[in-house]
Structure 1
Amino acid sequence: MMAKTKAEKKISDIVSQWFYTDSLKFAVCSLHSIVPNPAITVPFRSGKKRIEFSPELVEKFSDTELSFYLNLEVTRILLGHPYQRKPYNAKPLVLAMSSDAVIWQLNTRKRKTDDNEYSKLPGVQYLKQMIGPHATFCDMNFEQWYKYILDIVVKAKNAESAGTTDNEGLEDLASMSELWEEDEEALSDIKNDIEDAIIKEGYGKDGGEIERAVCDSVDFSFDYRRALSKFRQNVISPNRKLTRMRPSRRYGFKAMGSRYERKANILIAVDVSGSITDESFEHFIHAVKNFFFLGIIENIDLIFFDVNLKLSKPVSYKKKIDLNEIKGRGGTNFQIPCDFYGEHKSDYSGMIIFTDGEGEPPVIEGSSNVLWILDSRLNYEKSRQWITKVCGCQATFLPF
């Protein structure tokens, strides 16, 4: 086995330390091969499941400087920049500048000041040179920054022909994105690492300020409307009726038409146990009031539960709900609403349970149509495995 070079050892020491202090950064490094590339003129660049580094530059860095630049590249990877779909005929320089701008924006927002080390990134320095050092921006994502900076660069090239700009060093910056190419598998791996860190709170002992900013900025949102749409189809499909009075759109009167009668009754069970925050409870009620299928479902009944049912009978959605009547904040027993649904199954086409997922899995016998809606992505990830194992259950979460 060949001995590590000085540059390799310095990087290895930082990554090894992250194993104990910052599991998310360590996980990202573990997904990539960290290899030297003497030909590059930037400290680090990533892509194609590699993190390349310049041995010459790394050996000159202090431990603090090296940690900064390696952390910068890991943040770039966490944001998904090296693996996102690139714009048509993408300009490497603009891609690199856009990535620098997003990271600068993240740190400026979290620290509430532009006076930090990220403001000295080459892409940010060039941007400020072109538009003025005191310019302010609205928060923009990677694609928006790309379009914005592309326009600036095009104008700068026109100015360059007149000898009015200095583009020294921009070729080095452009080389930083040479390895970037779309890779869904890599993005999925990064997403899983971030989700694990959220669930385990593995941001590091320093509080993980930048990692939290990254998690807040990366759009890994789940399209909950897809789950609701599927649930809706399941509850109204039994009410499909054939008719010769209405022709098929495709075959006319050669085939019978069909129509759906709006006779689906839905039971919605709202968790009011002690683990439910006031904010989550308000989100639940807001979601009920704004449910997308209110124009299709004929009747919605509400029940509230913790260790037992909180009202003697369901409340119709059409009736104004007096929240003062609901006394909850005890433990959680999912068997209670499931048993109620089972006893009144002939009255309902399906049931929706709003909850945080904190409780023992219930037993549901026979076929059922139950959709669990969790109050957050975190609780969804914690609970979705056991929920989907319960007979006839699906799971999604509120995007609040």
Structure 2
Amino acid sequence: MSRVDPRQRITRVIEGWFLSEPLLFAAWTMHEIASQPQIATIRVGRGRIEYNPDFIASLTNESLRQVLTFETMRILLGHPYSRRQDDAALSYAASNLTVQECLRTKLPISRARDVLGGPEHDDQYFEYYYRELLERKQQDDPPPKDASRDQDDSQQDESGRDDTQQNDEPRSQQDTQGERESDKRTNEPTGDESDGAESSDQPNSSQTPGPRSADLESYADAGSVGLENTQAWDADDLAQEEISIAIQEASQGDRWGTLGGFAKEQLRATLRPPLDYRGVLRQFRQSVLSVDRRLTRMKPSRRYGFAQMGSRYDFTTSLLFAVDVSGSMSHEVLQMGFSIINRFFQYGVRSIDVVSFDTRVISPPMTLRRAIEHIEVTGRGGTNFQCIIDLIDGRGEYKPSTNYDGLIVFTDGQAPIPKSPTNRRVKILWLFHSEAVYDRSAEGLSKLGATAFVQPTRSSRRLNR
């Protein structure tokens, strides 16, 4: 019997999800499917799902369904688009533990309790598992040998030399025998190769039928494929937003399919309520209000009546809006920043000073008293926040035009954290252009002021497509 095309086998599984697993179907169809013989198993990233045809062909129908479900759940949890950590292998291992806790598949992927040692590790989240795995890895790394350790080792070598020599031959024979058995297993024909993929569903043990153990075990082994399978993982707020919309629709319409209760909880947890930057700006504007008192005869004095002039209080604020114009800020992002400046005039701000910066302040603050449509941008170098802090402290190349009540820095956060300003009067808001940038940079800069990010609107998402 001729082997069924791997892509056709994948398509059959996905088509079956249309009615039975609508959320899985929606997440899978957001991606482009591509054959990639250079990789070992299957991986997700940057809007693509790549697979090795031989790996897919080696799977039984049931194992294939579980693998595809596993990868789609990985997508829904956002691991390829927001969760990658510094250690790629540990990122993949933490992702596997998280997904396995959600699905409890029969794939050769261990439960968290088996890896970390106890039921208290059940039903946790990606960052928890990554932290636990990282701590164990650091504990297992042997410390560097010192002189005393080398001396002890040499003494042990002298005392145990005879035993070592006696055991050398049996150990080498055992290794040779193990290699022969490994080669025998590798070259041994499987049911899938002889009978085809469709006939491989016949169980051959008490467990769920599967392909050669080495295939699925390599898929589950972070040390073997972790680096390769996380290579395309990268922060992508647009992809994460599309996934969030699919999860919201599934939650509102109760279209979860066969996903269990904990899987639903984990997916709902990814729907962090969007931060309304407009509300943050309004609150920031209110927190930096100044009061101007002026005398008027149109209002009587509280103490002397109309014999003396009364007082009228006008609420004003002096804001400095600093725009990061470094090379990492795209033209569309800069348009977003200047549209936010225009929004302040809707909040009753009479005027606002605007300054652009990269590694230095490009020009003196420019005072705006009305909304603008076009502005010329120069700079496009690196980024250094310290030049803005020096400006409000009065130490920069350009002196502030007034005593500012507040500073808003619109940026992508790709710069070292500056020193705290000596001018404690000025309140600072770090405004990031996306949620992904906010997740990466807000924690460090939050020590110097408030933080927020711009939640993209549907119109902006259509524009970015």
TM-score normalised to the size of structure 1? Answer: 0.46
Computing the radius of gyration over CA atoms, which structure comes out larger, 1 or 2? 2
